[in-house]
Amino acid sequence: MRRGGLALGLGLIGAIVAMAALSLVWTPYPVDAIDVAGRLAGPSATHWLGTDHFGRDILTLILAGARTAVVVGLIAVGAGMAVGVAVGAAAAGAGGVLDEALMRLSDAAFAFPAVVSALLITSLFGAGTLNAMIAIAIFNVPVFARTTRSAARQAWRRDHVRAAVALGKSRLAVTRDHVLPTIAGVLVVQGALQFGLAILAEAALSYLGIGAQPPEPSWGRMLNDAQTYLFGQPWLALYPGLAISLAVLGCNLVGDGLRDGLDPRLRRVVRRLAT
């Protein structure tokens, strides 16, 4: 069952990434091709998933939306992980006052979910994908800081890490050469789960109109458009929602599947959040 979950998850993520890559070289129609006469059409041989209120091909938008989701997810989680791991590793390595101070900071950052920081950033700099990415990255920092700190504190107690300390290596060198490699698995698991959350957050922000701006394709944006036509063309709300759900499901299955392969002591360090 667990193996099956991991395989299914890898398959789903693979499909989303493949869609994103495909959209770079080929889409059934150009992303910005408008056909007012053929607007709001149902699925047909020419438009497999139908057209939206501008007559744009839905399949094209779904493929191109995968690109936005993957790019935003990778950059936002990557940036959040880079900062968060540094903060968490510093807190665990230094201990004492610095540890306490960094963790209080991360507590304060936890009070800012991605939507809230996005609102703050947007109010000053305007809406856009970059600002959405920054907001999602900010949300990821305390998550990775806490996970890294908990896992690193355990790693510092391991024999091979203590041996390195006894050999006279500096705390920075021990962190780099021994602590981080020991906890890398935990970070990969947390990264997979956060990637799913980032896709959810990007979609939510774009739905609210403070993420990707038209004509940039985004699944969340498509859902916002679809809601206007809910009475006449309810299927418009189906495809983007399914795409988001399957992408997130894939990340969660991969995260859970990989977590089961971790050392049981490190397994409980992973944080499972929902947005």
Partner 1 sequence: MTRYLAGRVFALAVTFVLAALAVFAVLDLLPGDPARVMLGIGATDDALAALRHDLGLDRPAHVRLLGWLGDLARGDLGVSHTYGMPVGSLVLDRLAVTAPLALLALALTVALGVPAGVAAAARRGRAADLAILAVSQIGLAVPGFWLGILLILAFGVGLGWLPAGGFPGWREDPAGALAALVLPAFALALAQGAVLARITRAAMLETLNEDYTRMALAKGMGRARLLWRHALPNALVPVLALIGLQVTFLIAGAIVLETVFTLPGLGRLVLQAVTQRDLVVVRGVIMVLVVGAVLIAFTVDALHALLDPRLRAEGRP
- Residues lying near partner 1 in the complex (CB under 8 A): 1, 104-105, 107-116, 119-125, 196, 200, 203-204, 207-210, 220, 223, 226-227, 230-231, 234, 237, 240-241, 244-246, 248-249, 252-253, 256, 272-275
Nearest to 76 by CA among 175, 203, 261, 258: 203
CB of 44 to partner 1, least distance (A): 22
Of 124 and 167, which CB lies nearer to partner 1 in the complex structure? 124
Of 87 and 164, which CB lies nearer to partner 1 in the complex structure? 87
- Residue 161 and residue 174 in contact, taking contact as beta carbons nearer than 8 Å: yes
CB of 241 to partner 1, least distance (A): 4
Q: Where are the alpha helices (DSSP H) in the chain?
A: 2-25, 58-94, 96-110, 114-125, 129-156, 159-166, 171-174, 180-208, 219-228, 238-259, 264-267
C-alpha neighbours within 13 Å on the C-beta side of residue 245 = 7
CB of 168 to partner 1, least distance (A): 31
CB of 216 to partner 1, least distance (A): 18
CB of 183 to partner 1, least distance (A): 18
C-alpha neighbours within 13 Å on the C-beta side of residue 83 = 18
CB of 42 to partner 1, least distance (A): 16
CA atoms 72, 74, 79, 84: torsion sign:
positive
C-alpha dihedral, 36 to 37 to 38 to 41, nearest 10°: 90
One-letter amino acid at 203 equals A
Of 116 and 184, which CB lies nearer to partner 1 in the complex structure? 116
Of 29 and 139, which CB lies nearer to partner 1 in the complex structure? 139
Q: Which residues face 51 on adjacent strands?
A: 57
CB of 164 to partner 1, least distance (A): 26
CA 89 to chain centre: 22
Of 94 and 115, which CB lies nearer to partner 1 in the complex structure? 115
Of 23 and 122, which CB lies nearer to partner 1 in the complex structure? 122
CB of 33 to partner 1, least distance (A): 26
Of 72 and 203, which CB lies nearer to partner 1 in the complex structure? 203
Locate tokens 């989680």: which residue? 77
Of 51 and 233, which CB lies nearer to partner 1 in the complex structure? 233
3-state per-residue secondary structure call for 225-266: HHHHCCCCCHHHHHHHHHHHHHHHHHHHHHHHHHHCCCCHHH
DSSP state of 31: T
